[in-house]
């Protein structure tokens, strides 16, 4: 840990990044320590620690055993949905992972090969990720809530040699048929893996085991049992550790590539400096391994740092009640926790006076971090009043892989400000820019951009698509990474993230593309055109609604059309999209050049003031939309 304070360290990280990150690199174990701290590759992209060699699985497991901490608990699996609690020491986890890696090697997986992981929140998902890292193979975890179509898109892009999945997952009391969903995805995808490794969960609610296809499907436990453990394979710092797909503005997800070296250094640095947690303490990120938060702070960050991490197969509510989080904190003496504001809103809705909180001893908890979406001030105040511990909203993205704005609680005693996601984290030179790319001052709203180079741990590129990386993120303002969010800052350099400026929305902390939903809805034969916008939702932060224009002469009942559109989105993306509304409208508001005024419609629904461009085709269309939204009960009362 550095002895300097936030201001000193932050300045050093921006003005002397090479010196700063070279020093941080000393905190992890390298097979070959890097001497090229920061270089630009032939494509002009920045690479951290290019000549260093290491293995991420070694850092997460073997290193702790080497240091004599093999018997410490590495992973606690707490599953209220199956009523299971199980602990794995670093040795236990390393032994399973080493054998699984041996099994994967028998199936032909080597350094640089890709493996897709489509699993529920079970320890085998963590083992699968670490086994890939051990071999130097590149994993791509697909969130279990995604429908087969989304899985197929990712399979076709990542082209895995092997897919690792499970018989089923459990949502509250509902069984999700992972293996049949995988089968369906493979019917759609062009690429086919050599093998599917299936973890068969024991019978639950009478659900039997899915059929295994001879020659393709392999039993996960049998493979581990029959395989020899293998050692960690050294990889270059710049070799990819994983691909994680995230929603962009189109139907094609973007494959964010994370390297090994920069990532490991950033993980270690963040555990100390941002989360202020020590090796041996218990860290709990109540997310899912299918999201970036799960990658960084269920799996890699805590394990690399030598913490005990918690894998929770449950929900904030109904498993069995809104006291679930407090029960977990008490049971496992959680020291630092991370969740999404949606989860807090769900708890607040069910237990507004916090009665259940009082039933548990949560004294072990020092601080609570929130991210995934903006934390609205009422939610912030409610949770702070309830737990009476620091609550820190912090901002990051799949692309960054670790926080960009936060209170760095290990080196900064400053208080959070309600509504703000904090100050720039070391390494991130964050600025608010105008449309012309000029830096804006306090109080002025603009594009949230980061001056290059980005620090270690951030995206290296898009999978097999350097040009896509440049055009999506680096071309709007020369020398800057564009985050896709809009926001402001105040005189104390606290930033306020106001939401996406593109067609990406956040539903229950899940990042989704309205552009993709539009493509799906527009595929209905009766629909001439449509717009999908994200409107405010009390529980989920945002939810999508569709506005559709029918082709001439269509005789379809609006109610039937809505049901079909909702089912289309559910089938293609998944239930998590929460697409429940498709309003038939006569026309969509557009500029004379044909650009649909999505932002104005969103502001209309959210009861915010909006300015219609002078180039609007026909201002009366907004009145028609307002009327339709009002009929459907979608207008916030103060809509102008
Ligand atoms: N796998 C499969 N389906 C899932 C899923 C998953 N992991 N997560 C949600 N779904 C399904 C739900 O079962 C539901 O299906 P249904 O329409 O058939 O009932 C649908 O998606 C919508 O779910 P959701 O919007 O999550 O509503 P909910 O009432 O089931 O749960 C919350 C509400 C707030 C409890 C839940 O959204 C939650 O825990 N959110 C926090 C998420 C989070 O931590 N995000 C941060 C990532 S960093
Ligand atoms: P994801 O890539 O799924 O993590 O989503 C990233 C997006 O979520 C960001 O671009 C923001 O729009 C939003 N987001 C995440 N954390 C915050 C936060 N603390 N405050 C505001 N928005 C956030």
pLDDT tens by residue, 512-541: 999 999 999 999 999 999 999 999 999 999
Ligand 2 centroid to Cα of residue 511, in Å, is 8
Ligand 1 centroid to Cα of residue 576, in Å, is 6
pLDDT tens digits for range 491-509:
999 999 988 888 899 999 8
Q: In the structure, what pLDDT confidence band is assigned to residue 638 with cuts at 50, 70 and 90?
A: low
Specify which residues 548 forms β-bridges with: 530, 584
Domain ranges of the chain: 6-314+394-487, 508-631
pLDDT of 4: 80
Tell whether omega for the bond before 320 is within 30 degrees of 0, i.e. cis: yes
Ligand 2 centroid to Cα of residue 565, in Å, is 27
Mutate to test the pocket of ligand 2, among 373, 449, 499, 576 (most ligand atoms within 8 A of CB): 373
Ligand 1 centroid to Cα of residue 507, in Å, is 9
Q: Is residue 376 within 6 Å of ligand 2 at its C-beta? A: no
Q: What is the mean pLDDT of residues 101-117?
A: 98
Say which ligand is closest to the CA of 421: 2
Q: Is residue 371 within 6 Å of ligand 2 at its C-beta? A: yes
Indicate the SS3 state at residue 524: coil
Q: What is the CB-side half-sphere exposure of residue 563 using CA atoms within 13 A?
A: 4
Indicate the SS3 state at residue 238: coil
At residue 438, does pLDDT exceed 90? Answer: yes
At residue 454, does pLDDT exceed 70? Answer: yes
Of 342, 312, 338, 310, nearest in space to 324 by CA: 312
- Residue-wise DSSP of 358-426: GGS--TT--EEEE-SS---HHHHHHHHHHH-S-EEE-B--TTTSS-SEE--TTT--PPP-TT--BEEPT
Q: Is residue 497 within 6 Å of ligand 2 at its C-beta? A: yes
DSSP code, position 467: H
Q: Which residue has the tokens 């009929």?
A: 631
Ligand 1 centroid to Cα of residue 239, in Å, is 34
pLDDT tens digits for range 567-623:
999 999 999 999 999 999 999 999 888 889 999 999 999 999 888 888 888 989 999
At residue 637, does pLDDT exceed 80? Answer: no
Q: What is the mean pLDDT of residues 476-484?
A: 97
At residue 351, does pLDDT exceed 70? Answer: yes
Q: Which residue has the tokens 């269509």?
A: 554
Closest residue by CA, ligand 1 atom 3: 145
Q: Which residue has the higher pLDDT, 203 or 94?
A: 94
Closest residue by CA, ligand 2 atom 20: 374
C-alpha 639/C-alpha 626 separation (Å) is 9
Mutate to test the pocket of ligand 1, among 369, 508, 539, 566 (most ligand atoms within 8 A of CB): 508
CB atoms under 10 Å from CB of 603, counted, come to 18
Residue 452, C-beta contacts closer than 8 angstroms, at least 6 positions apart: 46, 474, 479, 480, 481
C-alpha 174/C-alpha 236 separation (Å) is 43
At residue 420, does pLDDT exceed 50? Answer: yes
Ligand 1 centroid to Cα of residue 266, in Å, is 29
Q: What percent of the chain has pLDDT over 90?
A: 90
Indicate the SS3 state at residue 450: strand
Say which ligand is closest to the CA of 144: 1
pLDDT of 639: 40
Q: Which residue has the higher pLDDT, 95 or 209?
A: 95
Question: Is it true that 6-314+394-487 and 508-631 share their CATH fold?
Answer: no
CATH number of 508-631: 3.30.300.30
Q: Is residue 406 within 6 Å of ligand 2 at its C-beta? A: no
Q: How many residues can be counted in the chain?
A: 640
Model pTM?
0.95
Ligand 1 centroid to Cα of residue 469, in Å, is 30
Q: Is residue 339 within 6 Å of ligand 2 at its C-beta? A: no
pLDDT tens digits for range 66-86:
999 999 999 999 999 999 999
Closest residue by CA, ligand 2 atom 4: 397
Q: Report in angstroms the alpha-carbon separations of 22 from 48, 176, 536.
A: 10, 46, 44
Say which ligand is closest to the CA of 542: 1
CATH number of 6-314+394-487: 3.40.50.12780
Q: Is residue 503 within 6 Å of ligand 2 at its C-beta? A: no
Mean residue pLDDT across the chain = 95
Closest residue by CA, ligand 2 atom 9: 397
Say which ligand is closest to the CA of 447: 2
pLDDT of 1: 66
Q: Is residue 535 within 6 Å of ligand 2 at its C-beta? A: no
Q: Is residue 398 within 6 Å of ligand 2 at its C-beta? A: yes
Say which ligand is closest to the CA of 400: 2
Ligand 1 centroid to Cα of residue 80, in Å, is 16
Ligand 1 pocket at CB < 6 A: 144-145, 171, 176, 287-288, 291, 293, 315-317, 339-340, 342-343, 346, 372, 508-509, 540, 575-576, 578
């Amino acid at each position: 840990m550095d002895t300097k304070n936030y201001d000193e360290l932050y300045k050093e990280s921006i003005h002397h990044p090479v010196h700063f990150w070279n020093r941080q690199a000393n905190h992890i174990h390298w097979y070959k320590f890097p001497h090229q701290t920061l270089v630009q590759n032939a494509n002009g992209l920045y690479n951290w620690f290019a000549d260093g060699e290491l293995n991420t699985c070694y850092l997460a497991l073997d290193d702790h055993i080497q240091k004599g901490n093999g018997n410490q608990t590495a992973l606690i699996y707490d599953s209220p949905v199956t009523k299971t609690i199980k602990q794995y020491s670093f040795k236990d986890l390393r032994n399973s992972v080493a054998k699984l890696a041996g099994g994967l090697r028998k199936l032909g997986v080597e350094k640089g090969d890709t493996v897709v992981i489509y699993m529920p929140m079970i320890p085998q998902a963590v083992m699968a990720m670490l086994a890939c890292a051990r071999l130097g193979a590149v994993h791509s975890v697909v969130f279990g809530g995604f429908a087969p179509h989304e899985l197929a898109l990712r399979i076709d892009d990542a082209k895995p040699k092997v897919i690792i999945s499970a018989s089923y997952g459990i949502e509250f009391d509902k069984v999700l048929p992972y293996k049949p969903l995988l089968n369906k995805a493979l019917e759609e995808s062009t690429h086919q893996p050599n093998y599917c490794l299936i973890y068969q969960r024991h019978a639950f609610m009478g659900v039997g085991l899915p059929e295994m296809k001879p020659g393709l499907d392999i039993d996960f436990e049998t493979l581990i049992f029959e395989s020899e453990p293998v050692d960690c394979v050294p990889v270059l710092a710049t070799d990819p550790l994983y691909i994680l797909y995230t929603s962009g503005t189109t139907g094609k997800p973007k494959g964010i590539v994370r390297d090994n070296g920069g990532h490991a250094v950033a993980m270690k640095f963040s555990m100390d400096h941002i989360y202020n947690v020590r090796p041996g303490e218990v860290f709990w990120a109540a997310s899912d391994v299918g999201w970036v938060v799960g990658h960084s702070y269920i799996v890699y960050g805590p394990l690399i740092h030598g913490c005990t991490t918690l894998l929770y197969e449950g929900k904030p509510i109904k498993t069995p009640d809104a006291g679930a989080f407090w029960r977990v904190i008490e049971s496992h003496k959680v020291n630092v926790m991370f969740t999404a504001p949606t989860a807090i809103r769900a708890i607040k809705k069910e237990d507004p006076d916090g009665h259940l909180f009082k039933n548990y001893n949560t004294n072990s908890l020092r601080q609570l971090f929130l991210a995934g979406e903006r934390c609205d001030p009422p939610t912030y105040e409610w949770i702070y009043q309830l737990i009476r511990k620091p609550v820190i909203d912090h901002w990051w993205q799949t692309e960054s892989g670790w926080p960009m704005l936060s209170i760095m609680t290990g080196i900064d005693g400053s208080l959070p400000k309600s509504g703000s996601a904090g100050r720039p984290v070391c390494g991130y030179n964050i600025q608010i820019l105008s449309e012309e790319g000029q830096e804006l001052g306090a109080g002025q709203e603009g594009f949230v951009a980061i001056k290059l180079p980005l620090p270690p741990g951030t995206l290296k590129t898009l999978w097999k698509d350097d040009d896509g990386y440049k055009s999506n993120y680096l071309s709007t303002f020369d020398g800057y990474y564009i985050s896709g969010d809009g926001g402001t800052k105040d005189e104390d350099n606290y930033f306020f993230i106001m939401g996406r400026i593109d067609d990406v929305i956040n539903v229950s902390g899940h990042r989704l593309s309205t552009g993709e939903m539009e493509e799906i809805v527009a595929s209905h034969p009766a629909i001439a055109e449509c717009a999908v916008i994200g409107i405010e939702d009390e529980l989920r932060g945002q939810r999508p609604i569709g506005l559709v224009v029918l082709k001439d002469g269509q005789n379809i009942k609006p109610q039937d059309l809505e049901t079909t559109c909702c089912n289309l989105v559910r089938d293609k993306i998944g239930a998590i999209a929460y697409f429940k509304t498709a309003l038939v409208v006569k026309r969509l508001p557009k500029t004379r050049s044909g650009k649909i005024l999505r932002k104005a419609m969103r502001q209309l629904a959210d009861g915010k003031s909006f300015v219609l461009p002078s180039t609007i085709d026909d201002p009366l269309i907004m009145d028609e939309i307002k009327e339709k939204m009002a009929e459907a009960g979608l207008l916030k009362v103060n809509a102008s």
